[in-house]
Amino acid sequence: MDLLGTLSAARQLMNEVRRPSYPWENDEGAFLAHFGVPFEEYALVVAHLDDGQRALLARTLDVNPEAAVLWILAMEELS
């Protein structure tokens, strides 16, 4: 069995498969319509994340951007 070849093929397939993009990822009006809050509220909370939370956010955005945004919006902004 060619494990390295199988891994290489799997990586190539993963690179070719793209997750769908959503209108709210690039449009503030669509963000507001979808989540019910302006993008600025999301950005305010993100600005207060520590390094570990930022890393987790980045990984979650790669896999499930809607869940990542909802996680941030569930947090309270710290002053």
Report the C-alpha gap between 60 and 64 in whole angstroms: 6
**Residue 36 lies inside a defined structural domain of this protein:** yes
Total domains present in the chain: 1
Report the C-alpha gap between 22 and 31 in whole angstroms: 9
Mean pLDDT for the stretch of residues 22-50: 94
**Residue 59 lies inside a defined structural domain of this protein:** yes
**Residue 4 lies inside a defined structural domain of this protein:** no
The DSSP 8-state label assigned to residue 26 in this structure reads T
Q: Is the pLDDT of residue 65 over 70?
A: yes
Question: What is the domain extent for residue 77?
Answer: 22-79
**Residue 55 lies inside a defined structural domain of this protein:** yes
**Residue 75 lies inside a defined structural domain of this protein:** yes
Q: What is the pLDDT of residue 4?
A: 76
Q: Is the pLDDT of residue 32 over 90?
A: yes
**Residue 10 lies inside a defined structural domain of this protein:** no
**Residue 14 lies inside a defined structural domain of this protein:** no
**Residue 72 lies inside a defined structural domain of this protein:** yes
